[in-house]
Amino acid sequence: MVPEETDVGPGGTGVAAVPDWGTIPRMLRDQAARHPETTVIVDGEVRLTLAELRARATMVAKGLMALGVERGDRVAIWGLNDVHWAVGAYGIWDAGAVIVPLSSRYKGIEAAEVLGKTGATVLIMGDNLDGAPPFAEVLAAAAGAPTTTPVPAGDPGPTPRPARSPGATEPGVERPFAGLPELRHAIVPEGLRHPGTLQPSRVLAAGDLIADEDAEARALSVRPDDLCEIMSTSGTTGTPKGVMLDHGQVVRGYWDWAEIVTLGEGDRYPVIAPFAHGFGLNAGLVAGVMRRATLMPVKVFTPGGLRDLVLEGRITILAGAPTLFHRLLDEVDITGHSVRVAICGAAAVPAELIHRLLREAGLQRVINAYGLMEGTVVSMTRAGDPVEVIASSTGRPVPGIDVKIVDDDGKEVPTAERGEILQRGYGVMRGYWGEPDKTAEVIRDGWLHTGDIGTLDARGNLAVVDRKKELFIVNGFNVSPAEVESLLLHRPDLAQAAVVGVPDGRSGEAGRAYVVPRPGAAPDPAEIINWARGNMSNYKVPRQVIVVDALPLNANGKIDKRLLRARAAEEAPPGDRPAETGRG
């Protein structure tokens, strides 16, 4: 077992002590009071200082309070990375509520499932991608509400009316989505209207009736052990769950992360990871404001857009998968430009890439790290680590976190031997929302069983070498076969579905689905893929669908994924060709 490190400072192995904030609202207030004019968000022509972010967050909090939001209520956000998402998040936290981020990649079934499972009472929706239907329309297709229509000229939409109690509504006021009985209010972008939904301007106007001192008292009443967020994840056991993290965990974990990364005032940091993902929200939006860096939310990542930012000297910190850095180096000479730190965040980073970043491009450091939604930040490489350590490991555990490697019997294994990675410390989640049994499966005697396979070397460097769980990774996103199978079985023509991950040169891994038709049905693989594109996030869509008469079963009568994976390994990989269907 690796003990906690004690030396501090960005050049050492540990970190400086986290300020005595305890909660995100107190952090924002302290930073805004000390550094009111520091710019922390740049989104196109919009620039927000710390003082402006705090003021706007208070306005949102007052609007939510006017809608009847109480401490501990769940408030969801669904949108692209932008300034509105950022302000909405800090407003939710100021109101004492728990943020429930919805991926902008979600389709209606996925969003409705998360909203229903968490019992979200308010949904804030931003703009969708250009050309894509509004999120309200996407959700309506799954939750039974009419489609969004433009607001007639001069009609501001309905007036906010707080519900008397969770699950209750005012007479004559319909639910924004009939299939979500606990969702009392939905807020759509200005200029759109949906029956039962609200315009932001009306919510903010209603918030003017909330006294400033009441809003401030609400923000300051938040405690470090209050829930901060419920993040959707496939988890360590395969099915979608809500990971609960509290304010104290997030503040400490991402202070430590930012200290080791050396993120600070003057840094310009594009947040490419979605705010709805733990990395984008916590290592992006929270860490950036906490350290007074200038965040640049990236709505839609394009290599050309990133290249322009680099050439314009507007980036100092860049985080992404190794493929992002390979592509950037191949397309542009970044030598002498402003980028000084690269955060790769992968189980293995090619040594050749690290050499190119440090020697050719002149970066000061390359950081590799390991974390998971259930455990926040687990391990990171440090300044001064040799290239071979950064390439072959995710570094040492961060302060306050213990890691050990155990065999199938739960016994700690010798140095350099493989086993399951277990984690203990402040970063371990509070549990899965509403699923105490699932929580008990993965947290035992204070140790989080990650489901990942790794090794520890003599210095305590952690290498992640495999996954015990069935998840596979597509372009950096965890995909649960069980979740994709459940979504596929919404189709009436399918009796069974089994999904496995297969190697793919374009995305790392891709999904391959083996499906059994219902009697009398003749499902078309290409049509199934098209249906999947309309009903699940794009990274979950199987690259191939193969129709089979039956699926292999093990001795217990369950689908034998081991045999399916062996079959998949013998079949041609999906590659980059357009052929994505088949029969077997």
pLDDT digits (tens, 9 = 90+) for 265-309: 999 999 999 999 999 999 999 999 999 999 999 998 887 888 888
> Whole-model pTM above 0.85?
no
Give the whole-angstrom CA distance, residue 106 versus residue 129: 12
pLDDT average, residue stretch 219-226:
98
* HEC profile of 481-512: HHHHHHHHCCCCCEEEEEEEEEEECCCEEEEE
- Domains for the chain: give ranges and CATH numbers: 24-229 (3.40.50.980), 472-583 (3.30.300.30)
Q: Is 562 or 365 the better-scoring residue by pLDDT?
A: 365
Confidence band, pLDDT 50/70/90 cuts, at residue 170: very low
Give the whole-angstrom CA distance, residue 352 versus residue 343: 15
Coil, strand or helix: which one is 226?
Answer: coil
Give the whole-angstrom CA distance, residue 401 versus residue 553: 41
Q: What is the pLDDT of residues 94-153, one digit of tens each?
A: 999 999 999 998 999 999 999 999 999 999 999 999 999 999 999 999 998 644 444 555
State the distance between the two ends of the chain, measured CA to CA, in whole angstroms. Answer: 48
Contact indicator for 186, 125 with CB cutoff of 8 Å = yes
Tokens standing for residue 195: 């029956």
Contact indicator for 453, 482 with CB cutoff of 8 Å = no
Identity of residue 246: D
pLDDT above 50 (res 577): no
pLDDT average, residue stretch 557-576:
74
pLDDT average, residue stretch 170-198:
82
30 exposed, middle or buried (CB, 10 Å; 0-12, 13-18, 19+)?
Answer: middle
Give the whole-angstrom CA distance, residue 404 versus residue 464: 12
pLDDT average, residue stretch 221-246:
87
For 393, list phi and psi in degrees, rounded to 5. -145, 170
User: Quick one: which of 213, 229, 189 has its CA closest to 24?
Assistant: 229
* Helices and strands per DSSP (H, E), number in the chain: 18, 30
Identity of residue 128: N
* HEC profile of 551-568: CCECCCCCECHHHHHHHH
Give the whole-angstrom CA distance, residue 355 versus residue 376: 28
Q: What is the pLDDT of residues 42-71, one digit of tens each?
A: 999 999 999 999 999 999 999 999 999 999
Give the whole-angstrom CA distance, residue 202 versus residue 183: 18
Q: What is the pLDDT of residues 355-374, one digit of tens each?
A: 889 888 889 999 999 999 99
Name 453's Cβ contacts closer than 8 Å, sequence gap at least 6.
418, 419, 420, 421, 464, 465, 466, 467, 468
